[in-house]
Amino acid sequence: MQIISSKDNEFIKHIKKLKEKKYRDLNKEFVIEGIKLIKEALEEKCNIKQIVICDNCQNSEIIPKELMYEIAKYECIYVTDKIFSSISDVNTPQGIMAIIGRENTEAQINYSEDIIVALDDIQDPGNLGTILRTVDSVGINQILVSKGTADCYNPKVVRSTMGAIFRVNIIECNDLEKTLKEIKKHEFELIITSLQTENSIYDIDYNKKVIVIGNEANGVEQKIQDIADIKAKIPMLGKTESLNASVATGIILYEYVRRKIQK
């Protein structure tokens, strides 16, 4: 068994380059790391191109034997502890990562959904990952992201999705306003959150709706506000006037869940 020990190895250079968005986009690949994400990728039958294993971690049995049996079906590449640490993005590596081939990010929108979530320039990777995880948790299998939204395949985003990245169809929109106008032709109404309204998110009928979540600092851009059908706010009893984008998304989506359970 050959073990890569050189940082100048072309494969190691390739993994390091995948930390850059432009290289991820060019190669249609991204990196996942850790036992949980590897298990999720296997269960979801993702396009796993290579699995990288730290030789020392394998010998110390950090990686469960049943997982080792499963990953043996794929192309496995072994590296030294030092090399693994140099390509890892976490403080305490578990000794396993994989390169995943990306799905088509220009896929068709599924108009059979009750609701569609659209992100307008969400910037924080932690927020983005949490939103993807929340969308997955309520059974929505797609999300629209504007060109200015943070990269969904950023390592921090991927980790914070806790596997949702494999189940949610991410549709990247070069012109979100144009895409939303097209969706409205399919009898969907556009909802944005706003403080300049008396409407509450608890008064909305969540059927054939597009929920737009705006930028953390500036909210939903004006040209999208102008085409919105419904403006609603999250009622707050304290002095705080706004909520974190991922928290607000969770509150709105779980009101949709509550309605669905009641039905």
Strand runs (DSSP E) across the chain, as ranges? Answer: 3-4, 29-33, 48-54, 76-79, 96-101, 115-119, 142-146, 169-173, 189-193, 209-213, 230-232
Q: Which has more confidence, 68 or 42?
A: 42
Residue 164 in this model has a pLDDT that exceeds 60: yes
pLDDT category, 57, cuts 50, 70, 90?
Answer: confident
Nearest to 129 by CA among 105, 153, 161, 107: 161
Q: Do domains 3-101 and 115-262 have the same CATH topology?
A: no
- State what percent of residues in the chain have pLDDT above 90: 77
Domain map (residue ranges) of the chain: 3-101, 115-262
CA-based nearest residue to 53, from 9, 96, 85, 89: 96
The domain made up of 3-101 has a fold known as 60s Ribosomal Protein L30; Chain: A; (3.30.1330)
Nearest-angstrom CA–CA distance, 90 and 85: 9
Name the range with the highest mean pLDDT among 41-45, 92-96, 218-222.
Answer: 41-45
Q: Please, which pLDDT band fits residue 59 given cuts at 50, 70 and 90?
A: low
pLDDT reported for residue 103 = 72
What number is the average pLDDT over the span 39-53? 96
pLDDT at 262: 85
Q: Domain 115-262, what fold?
A: Alpha/beta knot (3.40.1280)
User: For 48-62, what is the mean pLDDT?
Assistant: 82
Q: With 90 as the cut, is the pLDDT of residue 246 above it?
A: yes
Q: Over 90: is that where the pLDDT of 2 sits?
A: no
Write down the H helix ranges in 96-153. 125-137
Residue 227 predicted with pLDDT over 60: yes
Measuring CA to CA, which residue among 94, 99, 64 is closest to residue 81?
Answer: 94
The pLDDT value recorded for residue 206 is 93
pLDDT tens-digit map of 76-112: 999 999 999 999 999 888 999 999 998 765 578 999 9
Taking only the tens place, the pLDDT of each residue in 142-158 is 999 999 999 999 999 99
| Residue 1 in this model has a pLDDT that exceeds 70 | no
For the stretch 178-215, pLDDT in tens is 999 999 999 999 999 887 888 899 999 999 999 999 99
Strand order in the sheet with 76-79: 3-4, 76-79, 48-54, 96-101, 29-33
